[in-house]
A = this chain, B = another copy of it.
């Protein structure tokens, strides 16, 4: 369960832009860095972080390297948030119930 590094990776705005650019499918580094307000090496560093977090897959294709979103990595985050959401809901429901009981007493 390495959702920790995944959420840390997604905390950076630039990295979220990169992720958004990869929603349509795999892209090489140059295409990702095109028309972005940071340099290409900066994008490479971000891709490194995202890959280490398990959010991206890298497939060398001749001269270039194709980066794509790894569904499994995203799913880890999803599962963490699901448990958090469940606990929050049950706690919320119990608090409302106890508050109602306190009112009537």
Q: Which residues of A contact B (CB under 8 A)?
A: 4, 7-8, 10-11, 13, 16, 19, 22-26, 68-71, 74-75, 77-78, 81-82, 84-85, 87-89, 91-92, 94-95
Residues on the B chain within 8 Å of A84, using CB: 19, 23, 69, 74
Complex: chain B residue closest to A24, CB-CB: B91
How far, in Å, is A53 (CB) from chain B's closest CB?
12
Other than the given A68-B91, A74-B85, A78-B82, 13 more pairs (CB < 8 A) read A7-B7, A7-B10, A10-B11, A22-B91, A23-B88, A23-B91, A25-B91, A26-B91, A69-B87, A69-B88, A69-B91, A71-B89, A78-B81
Residues on the B chain within 8 Å of A4, using CB: 13, 16
> What are 18 contact pairs spanning A and B, CB under 8 A?
A4-B13, A8-B11, A10-B11, A23-B84, A23-B87, A23-B91, A25-B91, A25-B95, A26-B91, A68-B95, A69-B84, A69-B88, A71-B88, A71-B89, A71-B92, A74-B85, A75-B85, A78-B81
